[in-house]
Homo-oligomer: A and B are copies of this chain.
Amino acid sequence: MAGNSFGKLFKLTTFGESHGQAIGGIIDGCPAGIQLDLEQIQTELNRRKPGQSSIVTQRKEPDTVEFYSGIFEEKTTGTPIGFVIKNANQKSKDYSHIKDTYRPSHADYTYDEKYGVRDYRGGGRSSARETASRVVAGAIAKQFLKDIQFNAFTASVGKIGMDKSIEELDFSLIETNAVRCPDPASAAKMEEYIKKIKKDGDTVGGTVQCVIKNMPKGLGEPVFDKLHAELGKAMLSVNAVKGFEYGSGFEGTKMKGSEHNDLFNEDGSTQTNLSGGIQGGISNGMDIYFNVAFKPVATIMQKQETINKKGENVEMQGKGRHDPCVVPRAVPIVEAMAALVIADYLLQNKSSKI
């Protein structure tokens, strides 16, 4: 099954290693007739791009997407959309020093255990570079779902969170700072902290929150493919993610039913929204919101003990240009994955009744 596809009706399959010739993908099942804004797709991709600010990796990758099929006269045709992003960083260097070394908390060891072979020139397939293809597909999904708003943002960096509730946030501020936090005061603290971490050669984790507004009702397929189950899988499939919660989440486990139930208004909306816009795995039209936990990036600019293929102890130190905190660049990825999930369920829901 190999795991390189996501979605059932609006389906993305990706390919590509970080140091191969190119990455890319095929979107199969995108309905015909969508008027595409191709520049907007590139804009989304630029939000994920390295080098966009002083708090992210300074690697140079132009990340220009080329479309090879499925689009004609700027409209989708219903045929598969094939696209490619060429890799800039693939010059042949000397990789002998890392060839046989397993970096701690990376996928080097597990890939070798699973496949018996590995493209050792970088993260290979396990590199977060793969998510660029997700952002391309998500950008198209968003244009398909143009009435639905996907608002992802940095909600915490390390122990620094926000004091505001979702209702108090102004999502138009997300792109006004490098951290992508809609609360400027918290954003400033987060940015300062990331800079300090970077100077230390260390890294730090954080959380991304996403609020989906203007959701249609009825999306989600019981019982195994509940809407939040697929959203959870989508988020957990992103590099460095360790957890997912929606609605009341882990906090909700501490509540009583009499506190937690969302009572109805006469129009079917609810007075509270601890359900997070999903009941029985199906959207009820209220806002969907969820949190995604990102661990600290494993590559640090400090010396670490590790082992090589022979099981010998060796010492290594991260080189090059890595993110001190992955969260700001993860924001567009979370949005992209959410859009892919919703697009898929919108198509699936067309079969729910005659």
Interface size bracket, A side: 35 or more
- Smallest CB separation, A37 vs chain B (Å): 15
How many monomers of this protein are in the complex?
4
Inter-subunit contact B226/A256 (CB<8 Å): no
CB under 8 Å from chain B, chain A span 1-16: 1-6, 8-11, 13-16
- Bound-complex Cα distance A293 to B254 (A): 10
With A253-B294, A257-B299: A31-B80 Cβ-Cβ less than 8 Å: no
Q: Which residues of B contact A23 (CB under 8 A)?
A: 68-69, 82
- The answer to whether A268 and B126 have CB atoms under 8 Å apart is no
Give 1 or 0 for each of A188-229: 1 = CB within 8 Å of chain B CB: 000000000100001111110000000001101111111011
Residues 89-133 of A, flagged 1 when their CB comes within 8 A of B and 0 if not, give 000000000000010111101110111111100001110001000
Interface segment out of the listed A38-46, A53-61, A275-283: A275-283
CA distance A255 to B354 in the complex (A): 43
Chain A to chain B contacts (Cβ below 8 Å), 17 pairs: A2-B28, A2-B348, A3-B220, A3-B225, A15-B79, A31-B353, A32-B115, A69-B125, A75-B117, A79-B119, A109-B264, A110-B218, A110-B278, A110-B280, A114-B220, A232-B244, A250-B293
Asked whether A79 lies within 8 Å of B110 as measured between CB atoms, the reply is no
A287 CB to closest chain B CB, in angstroms? 15
A258 and B302 within 8 A (CB):
yes
Selected contact of A245 from candidates B34, B75, B243, B352, CB within 8 Å:
B243
A228 to B352, CA, bound (A): 26
CB distance from A109 to the nearest CB of B (A): 6
Complex CA gap A354/B29 in Å reads: 11
CB distance from A322 to the nearest CB of B (A): 9
In the complex, A243 Cα to B278 Cα: how many Å? 13
Nearest CB on B from A283, distance (A): 7
Please name the residue on chain B nearest to A283 by beta carbon. Answer: B110
